[in-house]
């Protein structure tokens, strides 16, 4: 439990700090007065004031916020005086920069973490072939002597580049004898194998579980940063695809969404596998935080960007009452969603 709590504090603390730091620094750069820099949501626990800003830790560890003068946000403060240091007094492009900076910092953090892991441990390149992770007893694969850690390189006279290549050929050849070749510690072995019919799915199977063999190599700093950027982009695409599946009903919302309790559980599991695994998990959560914060929903950064887009098209400020109403509706929905996710996390804890 202690490992879980410390890992959760590390992951969330780092990512919230980085996210809010992005807003804070860019706000200062464009001359916006920052009234509060908080890790956690109110009520305030402790902190100190330096200049115009209250730097504090708050009791609810579910996020953080930077309160800018003249900005109607989750604090629902509608005091907009028109002073030059207020958020609302700045040009739209500057406000877009300030709002986008939080998610951008999370994205950069993920790139640096993944790039740093690659620089430390090497860049993983997928090797050709299908790596056998398990051979089931009394199956065609065990009969011909295929073992875990073997790499299948061809079947039915066709070269196997990926595990999916092997699966597709085996699935459509139930009852047909196939030539198969595999590599074991530099030695090439070969035999004949006949996939058995799985009557439930109407596909051929040979009784193995396969994946991709990864070969690690040393690389320079720039290549590792590029590697981190490419993999961060791939993870963002996967996250967007998962969200699409939830929206279309292909995946269950209840089973697919996790909140702070599930994050804490997964952080603890990652930490027990080692610090590198914890860092990889931190990068993944950082990308999720960046992605979901940019969704066009009130209260989230993406919602603020939509409001700025509307203001830019209208060429005049959105009325304070209208902005406040949108924020109140968004806050009510977000609070209800957070409560649902918390209860859902509790129900999934032992799954």
Active-site residue list: 20
Among residues 27, 25, 63, 21, which one has the least CA distance to residue 42?
A: 63
Return all residues near 94 (Cβ < 8 A) that are at least 6 apart.
30
Are 276 and 117 within 8 A, CB to CB? yes
Among residues 96, 99, 109, which one has the least CA distance to residue 17?
A: 109
Neighbours of 60 (CB within 10 A): 14
The full 3-state SS of 100-128, as one line of letters, equals HHHHHHHHHHHHHHHHHHHHHHCEEEECC
Among residues 136, 34, 21, which one has the least CA distance to residue 86?
A: 34
Are 116 and 33 within 8 A, CB to CB? no
Whether the CA torsion 241, 242, 243, 249 is positive or negative: it is positive
Are 301 and 99 within 8 A, CB to CB? yes
| Residue 43 host element (H or E) | strand 34-50
Question: How far, in Å, CA of 56 to CA of 37, rounded?
Answer: 6
Q: Is 50 left (phi over 0), alpha (psi -120 to 50) or beta?
A: beta
């Amino acid at each position: 439990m202690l490992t879980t709590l410390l890992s959760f504090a590390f992951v969330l603390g780092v990512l919230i700090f980085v996210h809010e730091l992005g807003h804070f620094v860019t706000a200062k750069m464009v001359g916006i007065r920052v009234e509060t820099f908080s890790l956690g949501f109110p009520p305030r626990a402790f902190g100190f004031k330096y200049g115009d800003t209250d730097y504090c830790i708050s009791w609810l560890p579910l996020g953080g916020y930077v309160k800018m003068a003249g900005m109607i946000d989750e604090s629902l403060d509608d005091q907009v005086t028109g002073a030059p240091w207020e958020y609302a007094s700045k040009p739209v492009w500057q406000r877009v920069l300030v709002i986008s900076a939080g998610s951008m910092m999370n994205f950069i953090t993920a790139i640096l973490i993944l790039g740093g892991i690659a620089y430390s441990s090497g860049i993983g390149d997928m090797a050709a072939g299908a790596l056998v992770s398990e051979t089931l007893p009394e199956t065609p694969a065990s009969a011909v002597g295929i073992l875990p850690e073997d790499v299948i390189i061809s079947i039915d006279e066709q070269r196997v580049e990926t595990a999916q290549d092997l699966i597709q050929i085996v699935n459509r050849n139930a009852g047909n004898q196939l030539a198969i070749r595999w590599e074991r510690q530099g030695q090439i072995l070969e035999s004949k194998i006949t996939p058995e019919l799985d009557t439930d799915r109407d596909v051929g199977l040979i009784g193995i579980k396969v994946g991709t063999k990864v070969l690690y190599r040393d690389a320079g700093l720039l290549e590792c940063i590029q590697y981190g950027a490419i993999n961060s982009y791939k993870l963002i695409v996967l996250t967007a695809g998962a969200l699409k599946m939830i929206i279309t009903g292909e995946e269950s919302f209840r089973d697919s969404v996790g909140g702070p309790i599930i994050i804490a559980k997964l952080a603890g599991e990652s930490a027990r596998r080692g610090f590198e695994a914890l860092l990889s998990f931190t990068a993944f959560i950082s990308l999720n935080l960046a992605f979901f914060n940019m969704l066009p929903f009130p209260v989230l950064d993406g919602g603020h960007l939509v409001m700025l887009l509307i203001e830019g098209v209208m060429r005049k400020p959105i009325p304070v009452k209208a902005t406040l109403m949108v924020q109140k509706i968004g806050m009510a929905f977000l609070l209800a969603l957070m409560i649902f996710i918390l209860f859902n996390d509790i129900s999934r804890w032992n799954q």
